[in-house]
Structure 1
């Protein structure tokens, strides 16, 4: 019971850290965009986490973890139905590492992240109403159905697809939708000049920097909690690989952007850190520290190349969400099939070697993961996310419209969508 309590407390701490990441996302998004849209961005972020949790309670959790199902879609009922003992108390044998309630809350924090990724990509020109409708449908239905394919024991899990904490299941799910939304929305006014994309500087880079550091801290819970226990070795290795990949991502993005653009770009440095974090997330528990550095370094390099390529396509992504979450999410998922191993265990959770004998550590129980299941997973999630997000956003575009008017965009969404200013002009009384 003492070990169970320790595991459960660690999982609750990680839940709090993942919740804290939503502040990081909000800070990053407002910092990299203009002052006149700050309140609008904050409203979207608060809406996503509040409504996301309610939707995950109502339908999401039981869509994502339906129990016995056909491997593609299943549903075990509305609301939560905690397992109880004959005496009516919570059944603590639900899982060796945590209670049913902790499981729900930890997974619920992940659910809202997919729509938060899209929020950054469509910032400064999307109508708040259609975005809210999209968030409800994507978080409430698409994310949990897609998640069930792996984490719910669906067909990709049976194929051997591996995604430890969500490079694909969370980040590319948001990234694919962000790509569709940006294509359907078009660029912000002033972004295109003589056929070329122009930089629109964010209004508060210190806040954006704070957001990235908060996200890095939150990733201790994002990846550390995905161990699903407080196992000392597995948790420690996961946090080490997570941090090394983030550091390498930042350094290599800074080097690459300096070589390409001849300036020390802090925003590229910041996105490189995030790219490293996204890249390692699929296999943080099955990588050596050296592998993690390589994965982070590649992530940081391709961030810069992806941002440049996205600009050439004339796609306007104010925060670099597509490059960070989609491109690095794909890379991190495929990297598992290149570098990764998975520990073999028995039903009691003991690590086993190839002969089925109990061994001391996950490293001793290493079993190489293969590349093809990872590729199948990437393609499967591309199919469901591109199709569903296009149907939702295109339908909204053709019915109620998804883009604000030119006047609203020029004067700012805060004034027109919300009727207030995030930074009122307070003046000291001179008398």
Structure 2
């Protein structure tokens, strides 16, 4: 229970734990009723027992002890399956599977291999051939592994484990110290299993226990070294599973081998488990806790080791080593055919009529809630936050439990959501309902060929009236555009967005944003123009100013209510992280591999970043508000809201973008009587080209091969909110990215983070780590930097947010 709960996600930990408890109850109940009879009852031709149903133990203490000892073996074989199928199987379906293993599959195979061991006679047909499995490498462990493999082939992998056209995604455990505790407890149990399988306390027991310990240690060390060699670090899971695989491997032969042989057997078992885990991942078989590599891989190897390392005088089967090896292979194959074949057949049939896997929705919220309704106030709070992050539905509210600390947080969170929803309602409505007019016209006559329904709404003409109309009738060339520059058709046909004046059917004039591109179709050539009415945008900006003022008033009310500062900052930190782009969004960007990290500081530093794909482009922004505290955090949320509004309104011209954003934030800061401002970098990516604008920290480009290029952004912009007009300070810089190149963005919390001696982390150390890890994935580069940063600061408290964004080029584009 400890091992599997720690290796799975916390949202499924209750389900994993209760399955282990259910294993114990089901296996003992069925083993007492008829499993013991099938396994140890009077044999029918060495295949099945026929006596001792509902076994009575009152008159025979030895029988009582033997029954309880064997019932634990049955429970062990059953519970192996729970870890493999964790996080996706319905609880009723798992009960059926546990009943099948403990009531039928395990007892019958146990009869073949172990019937008569309590009387020191060989009755089962495998025993009679000379098959030796002292404490269950095959009878218990391989059998559980075969059942797990068949089950996984029926129910499939966890959602997101093997994304299409992407490397497998590792799903990390929630509590590795708990898993280590579980492994240690299993070691104690193993000493009892192997030592107790003599069925008497004799002189063999001490050496059996020593062999068991040596094999477990050897498996752990061997698996750890393989993991260290392959991953350049000792993975905790490899150490845990390597030790368990060593214990599984020695279980069949711990009574007939020498101490050096125990070390060899355990080490090979740990290596086999590590390699088998990689094979399963390659075959896209999702074993949540690596139960199959440990128990099936280690069990098969341990059974073969009986013939390879066992001392003939101790085996006492009368067989030569070669014949003994053949008998061991027969036992392994018979176990695989019986356990895998029967499980796959029965589960395949059952799954047709009673689906065994939970729905995708249930898997996403976790089996704790979907299967057992195990909810808490914190669970409700984070569930609503997660739903808002996924759907951007700000109408969702957290249930408020009065007179509790979490209830107070939920109440304040709902108040902030009320303010945000009110602020964004009008802007969101404009974004949702605004549709561009798309018009095609001929070259060079400029006669309209087609127009979409939105063109009718914007210009007022019917669809039929558009046909053969001259495009000039929709545009007013006599009136200067908003930037006081006459824009003719020649300039309009150039790449980019242009602000012009449109003409409606009633003669009215209105500001218009236009983009015209040349399109070729076979021998034909024509223009496609996208025209957007931007008159509502200016109204939206005024609405945004008022909305920001309302958020400021909310902040003042919260302070007036004397809400504890820690609770306020906690809400702000949660909001900061909730609005960050999610991994599912980033995985949809095929050209780039993106991995971000954001950790709000104790006092909240106002950091944020955002990634928005649209058409064939990707807009990336990263910013940092001056100062700390709730005011900075709220201002960062305002900035992100405004940036998203502008980007989703297709406002991508850097000069206009930063100018509008600056005027919005500057006026809001004036109303707040605040001295806040922020640095902001905008990155516009398209087909290997990255356009940079806005003043922020240095941008680091890590070329394939580890060469570092540092780009100073001091001349690309001006701090946002510091001055009413920054348009003259906006510039841009273009960077060509090649496959393997990475772009690293960060806020000043990283280079300025100090250790106990007051020494800052610094840009040079950051560049050194990036140069050393350029071959890694974006996520691994990010992890390496954060790990090195934590090694630098140790236990020092962070007073500024830590924000890091790693962007890595995937494709090759022609320049």
Q: So what's the TM-score if we normalise by structure 1?
A: 0.83
8 Å contact from structure 1 (residues 39, 421) kept in 2: no
Are 2:350 and 1:396 equivalent residues in the alignment?
A: yes
Q: Does 1:412 align with 2:366?
A: yes
Q: What is the CA deviation profile of residues 155-206 of structure 1, one whole-angstrom value per residue up to 9, with x for unaligned ones?
A: 0000000000000000001000101111111111111123432100000000
Assess if the C-alpha contact under 8 Å between 2:76 and 2:140 holds in 1.
Answer: yes
The match for 1:46 is: 21
Partner residue, 2:753: none
1:370 partner SS:
helix
Please point out which of 186, 200, 205 is paired with 1:235.
Answer: 205
Aligned residues of 1:62 and 1:76 also touching (Cα < 8 A) = yes
Deviation larger for 401-410 or 195-204: 195-204
RMSD: 2.3
- Assess if the C-alpha contact under 8 Å between 1:344 and 1:367 holds in 2: no
- 1:423 Cα deviation (Å)? 9.9
1:42-81 alignment to 2 at 5 Å? 42-81=17-56
Secondary structure of residue in 1 paired with 2:301: helix
Q: Distance in 2 between matches of 1:37 and 1:155?
A: 42
Change (3 A) 1:367 1:230: farther
| Corresponding residue for residue 151 of structure 1 | 114
Contact 1:38 1:422 in 2 (8 A): no
Counterpart of 2:337 in structure 1 is 383
Alignment of 1:252-263 (within 5 A): 252-263=222-233
Match runs of 1:348-387 below 5 Å: 370-387=324-341
Q: Deviations over 1:3-35 (max 9, x none)?
A: xxxxxxxxxxxxxxxxxxxxxxx0110100000
The corresponding residue for 1:19 is none
Structure 1 counterpart of 2:181, from 191, 210, 223: 210
Query: Which residue in the other structure is 2:170 paired with?
Result: 199
Query: Does residue 1:90 correspond to 2:59, yes or no?
Result: yes
1:181 aligns with: 151
Superposed CA offset, 1:278-324 (max 9, x none): 00000011110000000011011111111111100011001000000
| Structure 2 gap ranges (5+) | 116-122, 380-403, 409-563, 565-815
In the TM superposition, what whole-angstrom CA distance separates every residue of 1:107-155 from its partner, at most 9, and x where no partner exists? 0011011221111000000011111011112211111011000101210
SS at match of 1:319: coil
Distance 2:4 2:337 in 1: 27
Cα distance in 2 for residues equivalent to 1:353 and 1:329:
21
Residue 66 of structure 1: CA displacement? Answer: 1.6
TM-score computed with the length of structure 2 as normaliser: 0.45
| Aligned match of 1:27 | 2
Contact 1:52–1:111, Cα closer than 8 Å, also in 2: yes
Change (3 A) 1:286 1:367: farther
Q: Aligned partners of 1:427, 1:274: CA distance in 2, in Å?
A: 43
Which whole-Å CA distance do the structure 2 matches of 1:260 and 1:209 have between them? 22
1:36/1:421 contact within 8 Å kept:
no
* Whole-angstrom CA distance in 1 between matches of 2:102 and 2:191: 23
Deviates more, 1:285-294 or 1:189-198: 189-198
Alignment partners' CA distance in 1, 2:376 and 2:233:
32
> Which structure carries more helix by proportion?
1
Larger radius of gyration: 2
Residue deviations 1:234-286 (CA, integer Å, cap 9, x gap): 00110010000000000000001111222211110110000000000000111
Q: Name the SS of the counterpart of 2:48 in structure 1.
A: coil
After superposition, the Cα gap between the structure-2 partners of 1:91 and 1:51, relative to the gap in structure 1 and judged at 3 Å, is closer
Question: Higher strand fraction: Structure 1 or Structure 2?
Answer: 2
Give the distance between the partners of 2:140 and 2:334, measured in 1 at CA: 14
- Counterpart Cα distance in 1 of 2:239 and 2:225: 9
In structure 1, C-alpha distance between the alignment counterparts of 2:209 and 2:195, rounded to whole Å: 6
Task: In structure 1, list runs of 5 or more residues that go unmatched.
Answer: 1-25, 83-88, 93-98, 346-351, 355-365
Shift of 1:90: 3.0
Q: How far off its partner does 1:399 sit?
A: 0.9
- Per the alignment, residue 278 of structure 2 pairs with 308
Contact 1:71/1:154 (CA < 8 Å) preserved in 2? yes
Q: Does residue 172 of structure 1 match 2:113?
A: no
CA spacing shift, 1:162–1:405, aligned 2, 3 Å: same
Query: CA 1:67–1:395 in 2, change beyond 3 Å: closer, same or farther?
Result: same
> In the alignment, is the contact (CA less than 8 A) between 2:109 and 2:335 conserved in 1?
yes
| Corresponding residue to 1:121 among 56, 72, 84 | 84
Residue 49 of structure 2 aligns to a residue in which SS? coil
Q: Determine the structure 1 residue equivalent to 2:238.
A: 268
Aligned residue in 1 for 2:68: 105
Shift of 1:386: 1.1
- Cα distance between partner residues in 1 of 2:280 and 2:34: 35
What CA distance in whole angstroms lies between the structure 2 residues aligned with 1:422 and 1:329?
A: 41
**Distance (Å, rounded) in 1 between the aligned partners of 2:313 and 2:64:** 27
Does the aligned pair in 2 maintain the 1:123–1:318 contact within 8 Å?
yes
Go from structure 1 to structure 2 and tell me whether the alpha carbon gap of 1:422 and 1:143 turns closer, same or farther (over 3 Å shift). farther
How far apart, CA to CA, are the structure 2 residues paired with 1:332 and 1:117? 17
Q: Aligned pair in 2 of structure 1 residues 421, 296: CA closer, same or farther (>3 Å)?
A: farther
Hey, what does 1:339 align to over in structure 2?
A: 309
Change (3 A) 1:30 1:91: closer
Relative contact order (alpha carbons < 8 A, sep ≥ 6): 1 or 2 greater? 1
Q: Contact conserved, 1:282 with 1:336, CA < 8 A, in 2?
A: yes
Q: What is the alpha-carbon distance in structure 2 between the residues aligned to residue 68 and residue 59 of structure 1?
A: 14
Q: Could you give the per-residue CA deviations for residues 307-353 of structure 1, whole angstroms, max 9, x where no partner exists?
A: 111100011001000000001100000011100136569xxxxxx99
Deviates more, 1:52-61 or 1:65-74: 65-74
Q: Which residue matches 1:288?
A: 258
Q: CA deviation at 1:68?
A: 3.5
Give secondary structure in 2 for the equivalent of 1:80.
coil
The question of whether the paired residues in 2 share the 8 Å contact of 1:276 and 1:295 is answered with yes
Please give the alpha-carbon distance, in whole angstroms, between the structure 2 residues aligned to 1:423 and 1:275. Answer: 40
Structure 2 partner of 1:362:
none
